Chain A
C-alpha cells in the first residue's frame, strides 16, 4: 500500500534549522554516504538508481541511471558533474526550497553521484537571482568540508570530491544543458549542437553529467532504502515523489511533495486548497510555462511523464499554474511570448525572429489594433519554430502558443474584436 503522505525530499523542511549540518545529521543525513563508502561499489549504486526509475526533474524527464551510464568508461579525461540549479522555467520554485531548507540533502546527493560515476569536481550552476540561496549553499559546503564530508579522503575513505557554487547572471537559456556548459566556460549561453552529447564531450570537452537539483536530492534515499523502494513510491517506469509547485488562482499556492502519478485534480483541489474564493477554473499549465495548456475539462490526468504526454502536454518541471475564468487568454499569450522573445539566445533564426514577430502581433492585438485573421499568422510562425532549432527552447516557445491558439481560438477572436472596438471608442 502506498502511503500518500510519505515525504522523501521535504520531510524535514519544517524542522528548525533544517539547513544546518547538525540538524541534517540528527535526522539521519549522510548515512547514505557512509553506507556507500563502506559497503557499496559504484556499480551497486548505478543499479539501484536504474531500479529506482528515477527520471530527471528538470523538464525532459530522462532516466537518471541511463544518463550516468552514458559516461564513457575508457576515457582518460577528468569527468565533471554539473548541477542544474538555474531554475528559470516560469512557475517553478521547487529547487529554491530544496537548497534553502535542505542544502545538505543536495550535497549528499552530489557526493553519491560523483562516487558512482567517478567524478572529483562538481559545479553547482545556480541562477544569479538566488544570491541568498547561493550563500546558504556555500555555508553548508563549508560545514561539510570541515566535517570531512567533502574534499579529500571523505569519511576516511580514498574518495575525494569537491564542489563549486557558480552563479549565473540572468539568462533563462542557461537552464538548457549545453548552454549551461557554455556559460560555465565563461561564454555567452548559446546552446551547442548535439551530438556530441555532454556525456561524451561536455564541460571543458570532458565527459559530463548534468542533473537537476531535485533529481540529485533523491539519491540519498535511493542509496539508503533501495531502488525498488523508491520505484514503488511512484508508478511503473517513473519512480518516487515529485515536488509540485502550485501558483496562480488557488487558495494555497506553494510546494507539495506527492507521489509521481498523483491526479492533477487532487493537487489543485485538495492539496492547494482549490480555487481562490469566487474564482472558476479556466485552464491549467501543468509543467512550467513551456508545457501546453490544459482546458478546465482536460485536467482529469495523472502527473507522470507518460500520462502528460498522452494528454498532449508535458510534466516538465511539475510547476502547476492555475488560470481563472476572468483572465484573458490573449493576455496570457502576450506574457508568454514576451518572455520567450526576451530570452531567445538569438542563435537560431526561427526562434529569434519567430518569437519577436509573434510578440509584436500579440502586442498589437492587445492594444486593439489586431485582426482576427492574424491568429493564423501566429500559428504559422510558431509552427515554423517547432523542431527547427538547435535546442528545445524553440519548441518550448512554440508548443504553449500553439496550444492556446488551438484551444482558445474563439475567445482570442472575441477579445481581439472587443479590444479593437474599445480602441476605436477611445
Chain B
C-alpha cells in the first residue's frame, strides 16, 4: 500500500528544503521527518525521499544504513534505549538490561509481540551524571534501578 506524507509534514519538508544551500544537505532532516511519519524507513520511503531530494535511492540507502537512529524496520510504540556504555555500566546498567529483557520477554534488538515495546542498547546518551540511564522515544530517564523502571513502564499505556 502506498503511504503518503501528511499535509503538515509536506509543509515542513518544503521549509527544510529551502533552508539549506543545497538540497542534499536536507537529506538527514527529511529522513528524520519521514521516520517520524511512517515509523521506519523502508525501500518505499527511500525512493520517495530520493525523488524529493533529487538523488539516487542508493545514496539515500547509504545514509540510512550509516545512522543508528534511522531505523529500517518498524519499532514498537515505545522504543526503550538503555545505555550500555562505561559510566552506566559502572553503575549497574548490565543488570538492568537483563532485568528489562526478562520483564519484557525480549532480547535487545527485539520488539514485544503486541508491538508495544522495542528494547535496544545504546552507546553513551550524554547523561552520565544520572547513570544508569535510558531513553524512551524522545525522553530521558536517569538514576535507574529495577523499581524505578517498573514505575516508569507502568505509566505507559
Which residues of A approach B to under 8 Å, CB–CB?
A: 78, 87-93, 95-96, 121, 127-132, 164, 166-172, 183-189, 204, 245-249, 253-255, 285, 289, 319, 321, 323-324, 327, 331-332, 335-336, 338-339, 342-343, 345
Contacts and interface: CB of A to CB of B under 8 A. Distances in A.
Most buried by B among A169, A189, A204, A339: A169
Given A132-B138, A169-B68, A186-B63, A91 B90 contact: no
7 contacts: A128-B67, A129-B122, A129-B126, A170-B69, A186-B26, A187-B27, A327-B90
Contacts of A324: 90
Interface in B19-47: 19-22, 24-29, 31-32
Interface residues of B, number: 42
Contacts of A319: 128
A246 B91 CA distance: 13
A170 B25 contact: no
Given A91-B87, A188-B63, A319-B128, 10 more contacts: A93-B128, A164-B20, A185-B22, A185-B24, A186-B27, A247-B131, A289-B85, A321-B86, A335-B85, A342-B123
Given A186-B24, A342-B123, A170 B67 contact: yes
Given A169-B32, A172-B123, A339-B123, A187 B62 contact: yes
Contacts of B25: 184-186, 204
Interface of B: 19-22, 24-29, 31-32, 53, 55, 62-63, 66-70, 84-87, 89-91, 122-131, 135, 138-140
Contacts, number: 137
Contacts of A166: 28-29
Chain A contact residues, majority secondary structure: mixed
A157 B140 CA distance: 41
Nearest to A89: B124
A335 B27 CA distance: 32
Nearest to B55: A186
Nearest to A94: B126
A324 B89 CA distance: 12
The 10 A-B pairs of least Cβ separation, nearest first, read: A186-B27, A169-B67, A170-B68, A247-B128, A170-B69, A247-B87, A90-B124, A188-B66, A186-B24, A253-B129
Most buried by A among B90, B124, B135: B124
B87 A248 contact: yes
Contacts of A339: 85-86, 123-124
Nearest to A96: B126
A90 B129 CA distance: 11
Nearest to B32: A167
A338 B123 CA distance: 9
Given A185-B25, A321-B90, A335-B86, A169 B69 contact: yes
A309 B96 CA distance: 37
A348 to B, nearest CB: 15
A189 B66 contact: yes
Contacts of A78: 21
B66 A90 contact: no
A169 B125 contact: no
A132 B27 contact: no
A245 B128 contact: yes
Nearest to A86: B126
Contacts of A170: 67-70
B28 A167 contact: yes
B89 A335 contact: yes
A253 B85 CA distance: 16
A181 B130 CA distance: 31
A204 B21 contact: yes
